[in-house]
């Protein structure tokens, strides 16, 4: 039977980043992805990176284009009650954020892995995990090019997302899952129009939340809060632009550029954490273990943080035989996950329309006023937004 050191299930950004970092340390891996490369690279996802994520991508050798084309953001604006308050990320927390689309990260990582001769199996069907709870060597089986395949390994990294096979393979008695589904969604569009502001705008409005983001200085990414039962067909471009304009302060609404959408979709919001994140020889990474509302820009960054912890643990194991960091993986990863889950929940509850109750809206305005008047309160937001410091 063929074997490798690490099988990485999932060829998205977290899976390819882990594989690339392992390669840098001389550790063999095989990546199994159920979709085609073209399909994965076409998925529109987040693109706001903490500087620790940028540093990890540089460590993996894929930082050149990112640093050349990415947009550095030193702050963002909170819009409420017809006015704005800027959160000075650089001044309050000492770090900036970088705007660089996840599709571009995916492309950079795939190019780097292929250039290094990586073993990536695209369109691997019926992936199954075997024997990972025992002390022996686990196996992964799949169907590739119509033929059954099987691979023995030392460890399995489950980087295959919320709906993937990795977490689903864990017996129910071994895992605890926490979940909150929010009673609203985000309608997002991508359009080739200049962004309304050079920095992101998070808007709290009686009509609902809105977010003005971007992918470049000529391509904008905008969102409005919508009902869970809404369909994309309910939102022609004209209705979207009208609603977005209504939720922005007047000076931004007046300069909003509109145009045809090139991508449009509705995403539900949830908070989800599975614990632990290690099951014998299987390690869950990224969305396979946790989901946060996109409000706090934590999803991709949390996945990168998991990769940071796991690749260092695997490097220690193959260098010295020590399993100390492997045993600590779940505890170390979850410490950051729970803090980011809390921040994302808090920010979501602060900025979205929660009900028709006037009291709920007035309490939000009171908290936003407090943030605007209190430097320590704004500093707490900034520190969480740019990403908390890693433990040694």
Which domains are delineated in the chain? 6-71+97-179+270-348 (3.50.50.60), 182-269+352-386 (3.30.9.10)
- Residue in the block written with tokens 């390690």: 283
| 298 is an active site residue | yes
Residue 385 a catalytic site member: yes
**Phi, psi at residue 301, to the nearest 5°?**
-70, -35
Res 42: pLDDT = 82
- Tell me the C-alpha distance between 383 and 92, whole Å: 7
Classified as helix, coil or strand, 71 is strand
* Cβ contact 142:126 at 8 Å: yes
Report yes or no: 140 and 151 within 8 Å, Cβ to Cβ. Answer: yes
Cis amide prior to 192 (ω within 30 degrees): no
User: Which listed residue (13, 264, 294, 317) is catalytic?
Assistant: 294
47, pLDDT greater than 90: no
Is 339 catalytic? The answer is no
Residue range 344-378, pLDDT digits in tens: 999 999 999 999 999 999 999 999 999 999 999 99
User: Is the pTM of the predicted complex or chain greater than 0.85?
Assistant: yes
Q: Of 182, 202, 222, 317, which is the active-site residue? A: 202
pLDDT confidence tier of residue 55, bands split at 50, 70 and 90: very high
pLDDT of residue 135: 81
> Does 222 participate in catalysis according to the annotation?
no
* Mean local confidence (pLDDT), 189-195: 96
pLDDT bracket for residue 331 (50, 70, 90): very high
Q: Is 195 a catalytic residue?
A: no
Question: Which residue among 73, 264, 290, 311 is the active-site one?
Answer: 73
**For residue range 61-101, what is the model confidence (pLDDT) as tens digits?**
999 999 999 999 999 999 999 999 999 999 999 999 999 98
Q: What is the pLDDT of residues 173-189, one digit of tens each?
A: 999 999 999 999 999 99
Q: Which of 34, 298, 49, 293 is closest to 158 using CA atoms?
A: 34
Q: What is the overall mean pLDDT for the chain?
A: 96
3: DSSP letter: B
Task: Average the pLDDT over 262-279 and give the result.
Answer: 96
Angle between helices 324-351 and 358-373 (to 10 degrees): 110
Distance CA 285, CA 306 (A): 6
Residue 392's pLDDT is 62
- pLDDT score, position 45: 72
Give the strand pairing for 261-275 and 290-291: antiparallel
Give the residue ranges of DSSP H helices in 116-236. 165-168
| Catalytic residue of the set 298, 311, 352, 361 | 298
The H-or-E segment that residue 273 falls in is: strand 261-275
Mean pLDDT of the 141-163 span: 96
Check whether 46 has a pLDDT greater than 80: no
Predicted confidence (pLDDT) at residue 134 exceeds the cutoff of 90: no
């Amino acid at each position: 039977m063929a074997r490798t050191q690490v099988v990485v299930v999932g060829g998205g950004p977290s899976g390819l980043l882990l594989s690339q970092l392992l390669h840098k340390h001389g550790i063999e891996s095989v990546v199994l992805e159920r979709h085609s490369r073209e399909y994965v690279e076409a998925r529109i996802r987040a693109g706001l990176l903490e500087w620790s994520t940028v540093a990890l991508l540089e460590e993996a050798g894929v930082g050149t284009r990112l640093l050349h084309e990415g947009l550095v953001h030193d702050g963002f604006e909170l819009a409420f009650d017809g006015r704005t308050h800027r959160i000075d990320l650089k001044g309050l927390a000492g770090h900036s954020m970088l705007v660089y689309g996840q599709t571009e990260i995916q492309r950079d990582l795939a190019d780097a892995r292929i250039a290094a001769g990586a073993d990536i199996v695209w369109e691997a069907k019926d992936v199954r995990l075997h024997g990972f709870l025992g002390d022996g060597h686990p196996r992964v089986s799949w169907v590739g090019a119509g033929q059954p395949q099987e691979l023995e390994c030392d460890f399995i990294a489950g980087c295959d997302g919320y709906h993937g096979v990795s977490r689903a393979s864990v017996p129910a008695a071994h895992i605890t899952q926490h979940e909150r589904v929010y009673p609203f969604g985000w309608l997002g569009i991508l359009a080739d129009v200049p962004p309304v502001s050079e920095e992101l705008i998070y808007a709290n409005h009686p009509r609902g939340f809105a977010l003005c983001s971007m992918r470049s200085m000529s391509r904008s990414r905008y969102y409005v809060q919508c009902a869970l039962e809404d369909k994309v067909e309910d939102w022609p471009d004209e209705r979207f632009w009208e609603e977005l304009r209504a939720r922005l302060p007047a000076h931004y609404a007046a300069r909003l550029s509109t145009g045809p959408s090139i991508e449009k979709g509705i995403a539900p919001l949830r908070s989800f954490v599975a614990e632990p994140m290690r099951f014998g020889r299987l390690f869950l990474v990224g969305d396979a273990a946790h989901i946060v509302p996109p409000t706090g820009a934590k999803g991709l960054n949390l996945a990168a943080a998991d990769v940071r912890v796991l690749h260092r643990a695997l490097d220690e194991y193959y260098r010295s035989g020590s399993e100390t960091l492997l045993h600590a993986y779940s505890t170390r990863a979850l410490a950051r996950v729970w803090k980011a889950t809390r921040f994302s929940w808090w920010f979501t509850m602060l900025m979205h329309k929660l009900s028709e109750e006037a009291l709920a809206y007035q309490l939000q305005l009171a908290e936003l006023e407090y943030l605007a008047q209190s430097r320590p309160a704004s500093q707490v937001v900034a520190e969480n937004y740019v990403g908390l410091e890693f433990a040694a």
